[in-house]
Structure 1
Amino acid sequence: MTSRPDLALLTADDGTRFRDLDHDGVMAPFEDPRLLPDERAADLTSRLSLEEKAGLMFHSIIEMSPDGEPLTGPGMIATMGTEDMVLRRRITHANVHALASSGRATARWANTVQEMAAQGPHSIPVTISSDPRHSMVQNEGAAFSAGVMSAWPEPLGLAALDSPEAVREFADIARREYRAVGIHAALHPQIDLATEPRWGRQFHTFGPDAERVSRIAEAYLDGFQLTAELGPESVACMAKHFPGGGPQKDGEDPHFPYGREQVYPGGRFEMHLEPFRAAIARGVSALMPYYGMPVGLVRNGEAIEEVGFGYNRQVITQILREELGFDGVVCTDWGLVTDMHAMGKPLPARTWGVEHLDADERIIKAVGAGVDQFGGEECPERIVALVRDGRIDEARIDASVRRLLRVKFQLGLFDDPFVDEDAAEQIVGLEEFRESGARAQAASVIVLKNGADARAATAGQAPAAERGAASAAERSTASAATLGPVVLPLPADERRVYVEGFSEAAASRLGTVVADPADADLAVVRLAEPFDPRDDLLLESFFHQGSLEYRPGLVARLRTVAEQVPLIVDATLLRPAILAPIAEIATVLVGSAGVSDDALVDALTGAVEPIGTLPFEIPSSMDAVRASLTDVPGGTADPTFPARFRAGS
């Protein structure tokens, strides 16, 4: 097969080459590549049927087979086949979930989808979007692991680097991989300020510091969008979740009914707007309001309606459009109108504060609030009926359609929506990209406690060669003589190492692996983040929420290990875990957010210097967390480690 489909360009009377998008052999203004995106969008809006306009206002989930074939029916979460979505319902914004097993196969799928779209009356290309997919965490409702693409730290890990240059490098590489396989829009960055330590969505934020988050957001947009005015090489970003999703009551996420309330006991609503002000100034193409509803929020003497932000006219029209001057796309978070049922579990529509409204009334309220597009929904027929019944003005629909089409024209999709399948195979997961991602992972590791001389460690810590009938004191003295201080970077000594949470290959780089800490010179343990497991509603098991404390049995077992051998602990910090009991017993303690086993070994051994600093503070207890103000960064009593901490700095 050819590397990409033929564009089949025609030539106008004046010699201009163009795609005959409406299949009539004549170059209409919207087909003229010389005109500005706004001009082309206005012309095409005037030509579209109501059904085509309504289809543009929905951003649905799309899936493919592992070998890159479009689905002919529903998928794991997608409720319909690709042809039904694109040709029958005219939905031309699609959030892709799992990719195919290779860059070539994914690119082939994207080209097939665009060939399908070209059969429509105006050949409206499909804008293919993606949640984050360049790191470790797999969450079907929020993010995907890197797979064939290069792997980088989670956004919290990028924040730990505190380097706009590193973030810009990541975003540029991710942009190139996205565009290679036909992905044109990023449903990120997530620039919420993570001020509630328990919140389960903060692993994809850049932490709670408004100044740091704003700087990182600007670099992120520079790398993905390239310029304030999108172009054919750009990936259009949808920053989220306006006006800031961090202040969730008790840290519960509003994907679920028990997390619908967002509160501001510290009066910091304006602070949460700061990263969005920065993103708007940088030309972000779209914004996504969150599900949560503000409770008790008063701004400029006016009480804000207690309804979800996607339904809130005061927030979307008055603050975002009129006050902040944003004229880009506003797309709701997924599932604001209809209930979901997938993977054997239900998930109610996130209709917080408007539960009494039926589906049509919810659409009317959201459109009236200023929404341009409904994420995760696929019911354009409802908008068609509402317009024809006079319940929504078609001129209001046209305003949203022009914004949505403008982005497609800016991205060059009407002129060329296809990708080179051969190039995709070469670009995606390029070794240079993988190496850059691995270096960033290792560098993002945060050293929180760095070592003690083996002689000062707990009695009984000694190299296995000296064990046997010797006393604890004798073994400890032998350990000091043989291995010296247990401190990073670890020297290239011959050692026996007991490990937990490592792949076999990565563990072998630390020394000879033994099964019993009593036989080891050193123990290295990777800890998953603590949380309260939940699995009643769809996606709930993916959201790690609740307590930040490690189970007492785990702490007791690690204490036993530490009594036998020097202990190095890596704590996964997708939320700020309560580290005090671990810091007490570990000789070396580091934290990481999206770091592979091999990258962690690089950091521990000094192959890459770990320079990460804490993106948030580490609370001393759950009581301190519960007593803190939900919308205020830090502020817990007697934190174990302050924000921006790194041992030795």
Structure 2
Amino acid sequence: MSVTSHHQNPRLTSTERAADLLTRLSLEDKVGLMFHTVIESGPNGTLVETTGALSKSPTSTVVLDKRMNHFNVHGLGTPREAARWANALQALAAQTEHAIPVTISTDPRHAFTENAGASFAAHGFSQWPEPLGLAALDDADILEHARIARTEYLAVGIRMALHPQVDLASEPRWGRQFQTFGADPERTIRALRAYLEGFQGAHVGEGSVACVTKHFPGAGPQLGGEDAHFPYGREQVYPGGQFALHLAPFRAAIAAGTAGIMPYYGMPVDLQIDGEPIEPVGFSFNRQIVTRLLREVLGFTGVVVTDWELIHDNVAQGQVLPAKAWGVEHLSPADRMLKAIAAGCDQFGGEECTDLLLDLVRTGRVAEARIDESAMRLLELKFRLGLFDDPYVDEDEAAEVVGCAAHNEAGFRAQAASVTVLRNAQDDKGTPLLPVPREQELRVYVEGMSEKAARRLGRVVPRPEDADFAVVRLPAPYEPRDDLLFESLFHQGSLEYRPGLLSRLRTVAGKTRLIVDANLERPAILTPLVDIADTVVGTYGVSDEALVAALTGQIAPRGRLPFEIPRSPGAIENSPEDVPNSTPDPLFAAGFRVEVVPR
């Protein structure tokens, strides 16, 4: 194609190209840039031209009619189908007047947790521990994960990561902490820097996946540990006066060049910054937070993307999730949008109501110059990523690269290594249970583990009394809830195991030596387990096979707790939500592990 305008000239800077294109765009084009919603792929990599499970409109409607070109992809097929779908989406966008390419984004999709409101299990991508497990390793595995994830994202056309999540897990009951790097700010900052280096490189360019670091200014201190996705979790509190501590990872993210920042849903309660009371409204509606703090004080010049569905209720799958318009519930959708724009946000996550913003401009309530400000940031990022020069991917390469043997092996090693040994008692002869000997035939009883994986530990028997030892994998404790959309997917509330389960474990332990694996997506109350089991390990997204590799010492388990384990529910209630690792007399301190000595 011959060069006919400055924005088509790859020799110019991304800023020069974006500025030129901005002058050529209609108001509809510029407004379309400011919306970033859910999209789904169809069978065999086709575009979905009906309303999907969570998407609100056919693909052609949002691309051609609403001029939108930022999409958070949910369901994907095989790697080849994902690449085919991405190419079809880019080809559709090329039909628009200025052929603005699509920026495809995603929530994390390399681990185990399937939660349409927060993350996806690997499904063809290489599988790694959850970020908590990467934090438990606290080493080069984080950089290796990020580099491999970038390679796999690029292969299927994903150019924006709606992560990392650098909130400090200061409230043990909070249901979002499985995607954090734990409670310690220094460990979180180390992980963040490696993560950004792996995904973005030294700077955002043609080979980068742009990161949107979240949730500004730190979403950990949720009142009572409830999550701000839901009306009962809208309040963030700072009884320990630690707002600055939660802000520290974001300072580091900005210094490391994060492309984007996402504020959280939560509304601060009784918060003051430098003696100034902060308005108790959701952070994306808060000019003191987005413009004054993020832009002016911290100097962030990148894209600010709101979290999802702040303007309208989300109705899907027969359920509703009220708009997360915390503190401004009384405002109309138009006035909510106006307040978020005035706060300084560039893009509305989870929304496609372009008509609402167009009306605000045409009626004079929003200046077109304000739209230009955000559109310029969004266009410049597309140019920096090289999307205008070549947005397409190779199906064959995607099939070869994504989830390949080398990537899967790296993920497997990280899973096994992230296992945290918390107790490893000795028998009467002074021999600890771990590592489980592999050179002799043992009989094993298992629960919560596949028999195929268990056979690598020994001969599987049906009763604990017939076994030399037992392995029981426990799901994380939580309170099931299912009233609001997505609520059933968020593990919230109590961290205690049910009495019936504990009684059954005592029965097993009375018949054979017992290894218990506790899923630590949150810091479960392990106090009764250490009294029951000979060996207790904690995991943060580990397959049965990887657990076996750790238990046998094939891969040494070396994970350290990324947060402390409280001794009791009462200890949690008596600790301030904003102070990490602050429960009195914890059962296990953050950073704890028992070293397993090879036989």
**TM score, norm. by length of structure 1:** 0.91
Please give the alpha-carbon distance, in whole angstroms, between the structure 2 residues aligned to 1:177 and 1:32: 29
Please give the alpha-carbon distance, in whole angstroms, between the structure 1 residues aligned to 2:437 and 2:177: 31
Match of 2:443 in 1: 496
Inter-CA distance 606–66: structure 2 relative to 1 (3 Å threshold): farther
Please give the alpha-carbon distance, in whole angstroms, between the structure 2 residues aligned to 1:628 and 1:371: 34
Inter-CA distance 313–167: structure 2 relative to 1 (3 Å threshold): same
Q: Matched residue of 2:151: which SS? A: helix
Shift of 1:489: 4.5
Alignment of 1:631-642 (within 5 A): 631-642=578-589
Structure 2 residue 92 is the aligned partner of structure 1 residue 145: no
Amino acid of the structure 1 residue aligned with 2:333: A
Q: Matched residue of 1:208: which SS? A: coil
Amino acid of the structure 2 residue aligned with 1:370: G
Amino acid of the structure 1 residue aligned with 2:89: V
Task: Select the residue among 108, 124, 135 that pairs with 1:132.
Answer: 108
| Equivalent pair of 1:199/1:246 in contact (CA under 8 Å) | yes
Match of 1:160 in 2: 136
Shift of 1:68: 1.3
Match of 2:207 in 1: 233
Match of 1:65 in 2: 42
Please give the alpha-carbon distance, in whole angstroms, between the structure 2 residues aligned to 1:294 and 1:251: 14
Please give the alpha-carbon distance, in whole angstroms, between the structure 1 residues aligned to 2:17 and 2:161: 23
Task: Select the residue among 170, 174, 177 that pairs with 1:202.
Answer: 177
Match of 1:314 in 2: 288
Structure 2 residue 164 is the aligned partner of structure 1 residue 189: yes
| Equivalent pair of 1:498/1:520 in contact (CA under 8 Å) | yes
Task: Select the residue among 615, 620, 625 that pairs with 2:562.
Answer: 615
| Equivalent pair of 2:516/2:533 in contact (CA under 8 Å) | yes
Alignment of 1:286-305 (within 5 A): 286-305=260-279
| Equivalent pair of 1:252/1:545 in contact (CA under 8 Å) | yes
Q: Matched residue of 1:346: which SS? A: strand
Task: Select the residue among 8, 11, 34 that pairs with 2:2.
Answer: 11
Match of 2:302 in 1: 328
| Equivalent pair of 1:489/1:603 in contact (CA under 8 Å) | no
Match of 1:548 in 2: 495
Inter-CA distance 522–289: structure 2 relative to 1 (3 Å threshold): same
Could you tell which deviates more after superposition, 172-181 or 78-87? 78-87
Structure 2 residue 505 is the aligned partner of structure 1 residue 529: no
Shift of 1:455: 5.8
Task: Select the residue among 531, 534, 551 that pairs with 1:604.
Answer: 551
Q: Matched residue of 1:67: which SS? A: helix
Structure 2 residue 553 is the aligned partner of structure 1 residue 576: no
| Equivalent pair of 2:126/2:403 in contact (CA under 8 Å) | yes
Q: Matched residue of 1:447: which SS? A: strand
Match of 1:179 in 2: 154
Task: Select the residue among 272, 276, 300 that pairs with 2:250.
Answer: 276
Match of 1:78 in 2: 55
Alignment of 1:140-539 (within 5 A): 140-163=116-139, 165-228=140-203, 230-454=204-428, 485-539=432-486
Please give the alpha-carbon distance, in whole angstroms, between the structure 1 residues aligned to 2:429 and 2:559: 29
Structure 2 residue 84 is the aligned partner of structure 1 residue 108: yes
Please give the alpha-carbon distance, in whole angstroms, between the structure 1 residues aligned to 2:589 and 2:43: 45
Deviations 1:190-244 (A, max 9, x none): 000010000000000001111110111010000000122x111100000000000
Please give the alpha-carbon distance, in whole angstroms, between the structure 2 residues aligned to 1:626 and 1:36: 54
Shift of 1:552: 0.7
Inter-CA distance 295–86: structure 2 relative to 1 (3 Å threshold): same
Shift of 1:648: 3.7
| Equivalent pair of 1:454/1:566 in contact (CA under 8 Å) | no
Amino acid of the structure 1 residue aligned with 2:180: T
Please give the alpha-carbon distance, in whole angstroms, between the structure 2 residues aligned to 1:599 and 1:334: 34
Match of 1:3 in 2: none
Match of 2:11 in 1: 34
| Equivalent pair of 1:490/1:604 in contact (CA under 8 Å) | no
Please give the alpha-carbon distance, in whole angstroms, between the structure 2 residues aligned to 1:379 and 1:155: 33
Please give the alpha-carbon distance, in whole angstroms, between the structure 1 residues aligned to 2:18 and 2:439: 62
Please give the alpha-carbon distance, in whole angstroms, between the structure 2 residues aligned to 1:442 and 1:274: 30
Please give the alpha-carbon distance, in whole angstroms, between the structure 2 residues aligned to 1:493 and 1:199: 43
| Equivalent pair of 2:424/2:432 in contact (CA under 8 Å) | no
Inter-CA distance 75–645: structure 2 relative to 1 (3 Å threshold): same
Shift of 1:451: 2.5
Please give the alpha-carbon distance, in whole angstroms, between the structure 2 residues aligned to 1:98 and 1:507: 32
Amino acid of the structure 2 residue aligned with 1:116: L
| Equivalent pair of 1:107/1:181 in contact (CA under 8 Å) | yes
| Equivalent pair of 1:117/1:123 in contact (CA under 8 Å) | yes
Amino acid of the structure 2 residue aligned with 1:543: F
Please give the alpha-carbon distance, in whole angstroms, between the structure 1 residues aligned to 2:185 and 2:550: 28
Amino acid of the structure 2 residue aligned with 1:322: E
**TM score, norm. by length of structure 2:** 0.98
* Number of residue-to-residue matches in the alignment: 596
Q: Matched residue of 1:583: which SS? A: helix
Structure 2 residue 25 is the aligned partner of structure 1 residue 48: yes
Please give the alpha-carbon distance, in whole angstroms, between the structure 1 residues aligned to 2:316 and 2:330: 24
Could you tell which deviates more after superposition, 254-263 or 41-50? 41-50
Shift of 1:518: 1.3
Please give the alpha-carbon distance, in whole angstroms, between the structure 1 residues aligned to 2:79 and 2:489: 26
Runs of 4+ in 1 over 4 A off after TM superposition: none
Shift of 1:490: 3.6
Amino acid of the structure 2 residue aligned with 1:565: T
Question: Which one has a bigger Cα radius of gyration?
Answer: 1
Report the RMSD for the aligned CA atoms in angstroms: 1.0
Please give the alpha-carbon distance, in whole angstroms, between the structure 1 residues aligned to 2:159 and 2:519: 31
Please give the alpha-carbon distance, in whole angstroms, between the structure 1 residues aligned to 2:443 and 2:436: 17
Q: Matched residue of 1:241: which SS? A: strand
Match of 2:509 in 1: 562
Deviations 1:275-334 (A, max 9, x none): 000010010000000000000001111000000001000000000000000000000000
Please give the alpha-carbon distance, in whole angstroms, between the structure 2 residues aligned to 1:507 and 1:175: 33
Instruction: List alignment gaps of at least 5 residues for structure 1.
Output: 1-9, 13-26, 457-483
Instruction: List alignment gaps of at least 5 residues for structure 2.
Output: none
Shift of 1:495: 1.1
| Equivalent pair of 1:451/1:488 in contact (CA under 8 Å) | no
Amino acid of the structure 2 residue aligned with 1:564: K
Shift of 1:454: 4.9
Shift of 1:519: 1.2
Deviations 1:517-547 (A, max 9, x none): 1111110000000000000000001100000
Shift of 1:502: 0.7
Please give the alpha-carbon distance, in whole angstroms, between the structure 2 residues aligned to 1:329 and 1:302: 26
| Equivalent pair of 1:450/1:488 in contact (CA under 8 Å) | no
Please give the alpha-carbon distance, in whole angstroms, between the structure 1 residues aligned to 2:107 and 2:93: 22
Match of 1:471 in 2: none
